[in-house]
Amino acid sequence: MAEYSKLARGSFTSNGFAKIINLPFVPDYVEFFNFTVVNSAATSQNVAYGKWQYPMAQGTAIQQGYNATPTLIYDTVASGGISTFSAGQLLQYGPTLQIVSISKASAAVVTTSTNHGFASGDVVLMNGLYQSTTTGMPQIAGIPFTVTVTGLTTFTIPWNTNQSNYTALAGSPAGATLKKILYPYLYFPGSTVISAITAPNGTTIPTGTVQVDTASAHNFVVGQEVAFRIPSLYGSVELNSLPNIPTPGSPIYGYVDQVTDYNTVIVRTPFAAAFTAFNSNQTVSSVPGLSFPQIVAMGDVNTGGVQISGGSPLYPSPYSVAIGDGNAATNGVLTNRINTVNGPAIQGAYVNNTSQGFIIGAGAGTVLTTSDLVGVANDLIYWRALSHDMGLPL
């Protein structure tokens, strides 16, 4: 019975953080050896071996490591263990969480009733958001937001709720919930909701450009051709690619002049000199049928390209930037860039980021409480993953 089993093996050098392994299948069995640890003197808390098998819970593992003696013992990892993933379809969500409150602020602070377990850069979708039948913040329900985590039950979202038509949420209103979008950037750059548009100021926003802030990561690059889709309620309709008032039917596009960070870009557009102010202060009564303002990557001409110079790689694999600016930190390392499994490509071209495989986490053991499943930096890990034909019970 091995007609359809799938087996894979490989190795990597750990950096001490969770390691994602992409495979052409989703394994139901994963095991690994830390060659560096087994090839060294026994040291307390070092993990030599780890294993996960379906139907163990996702994110758990069995590990074998050294205790204080040091003697090799078996141990379990309750979280941060081994998990599998299948990032193949959109519209997959994590568990639903109750929202306790949302503040009137910019950025708005969201508090959940239980630990959310998010990391900064995750994307959430909020639902309901009525404080009463006529008040609350339903204007932002249904918008994908990038979160910046501030505590176990708190995070901020890049939206200004400190406006007259928004009422703070408090006391866990019925129906006010949120859930994590598991794979928000399977295809990018795409269509992103606009949170603010700022007119040129001659300095940080050069003449002929506008600053566009988005609710989640835009993943644009310099040179990307973009279009605006702004419903009239939000103002700024002059920026829309259509209708073009002087030349009906001829779309007007802008292009990305600068990328400030994950959710801010400077867009060069012919209408930067004069446009109606952007207004995100929508009323609660407008909500049934309220469409959101969007900035859209144009599908036919993604002209963003990486400048070829001595210091930049030619046609690197595409990457997304979920949070932060993705640029070099002080140590010269590019931060917050999440590489895709795709091969070399022109940056800005539309990226299919679907993938599947498994993750070896950096969780600690139940007994070996300061151990690190995936090892420490420079540990050499050999892994094996299988997908079996048959399992009993199925």
Partner 1 sequence: MELWLLSNRLLILRDYIVSAASQINAGGGSNGFNPTNLGLTDFSLVATTLDTNNAYKFMSGIEGMDRFGTGPIRSSYFMLASTELQSDFDALVGQGVLNNWNYPSNASALPSEWGSVYNLRILTSSEAPVARNAATNNLGVLNDVYYNTVLGKQALTHISQDGYSMNLIYRDPYYSGMLAQNATLAVKFAQSQALTQDTAIRNLLSTRLSNLGV
Within 10 A of 186 (CB to CB), how many other CB atoms are there?
21
310 touching partner 1, by CB under 8 A: no
Question: 201: which 2 tokens?
Answer: 């100021």
Q: Which is nearer to partner 1, 142 or 316 (CB)?
A: 142
Q: What is the CA radius of gyration of the chain?
A: 24
Whole-angstrom distance, CA of residue 24 vs CA of residue 82:
17
Between residues 288 and 343, which has the closer beta carbon with respect to partner 1?
288
- The sheet carrying 97-102 orders its strands as 144-146, 123-127, 177-181, 97-102, 108-112, 154-157, 148-149
- The residue within the footprint of partner 1, chosen from 83, 101, 103, 177 (CB under 8 A), is 177
Residue 156 is a binding residue for partner 1 (CB under 8 A): no
Least gap, CB of 218 to partner 1 (angstroms): 12
Using alpha carbons, select from 217, 158, 219 the residue that is nearest to residue 189.
219
> Of 30-38, 75-83, 115-123, 239-247, which part binds partner 1 (CB under 8 A)?
239-247
Q: At its nearest, how many Å lie between partner 1 and the CB of residue 132? A: 8
Binding-site member from 221, 272, 290, 385 for partner 1 (CB under 8 A): 290
Of residues 11-70, which lie at the interface with partner 1 (CB under 8 A)? none
What burial class does residue 253 get, using C-beta atoms within 10 Å of its C-beta: 0-12 exposed, 13-18 middle, 19+ buried? middle
Binding to partner 1, residues 187-206 (CB under 8 A): 187-188, 190-191
* Cβ-proximal residues to 220 (8 Å cutoff; 6+ apart), any chain: 189, 226, 256, 259, 265, 297, 304, 348
What's the rounded Cα separation, in Å, for the pair 161 and 389?
52
> Using CA atoms, how far apart are residues 195 and 118, in angstroms rounded to an integer?
22
Binding mask 242-271 for partner 1 (x = CB under 8 A): xx----xx-x--------------------
Among 95, 175, 313, 344, binds partner 1 (CB under 8 A): 175
Q: For residues 344-363, which are near partner 1 according to CB under 8 A?
A: 350, 352, 354
- Minimum distance of partner 1 from residue 258's CB (angstroms): 23
Chain positions 116 to 135 lying near partner 1, rule: CB under 8 A, are 125, 127-130, 132-134
Strand ranges inside 201-336, DSSP E? 209-214, 225-229, 254-261, 264-268, 294-297, 319-321
Please tell me the distance from the alpha carbon of residue 75 to that of residue 81, in angstroms, as a whole number: 12
113 is an interface residue for partner 1 by CB under 8 A: no
- Residues forming contacts to partner 1 in the complex (CB under 8 A) are 3, 89-91, 93, 96, 125, 127-130, 132-134, 138, 141-142, 174-177, 186-188, 190-191, 227, 229, 241-243, 248-249, 251, 287-292, 294, 296-300, 350, 352, 354
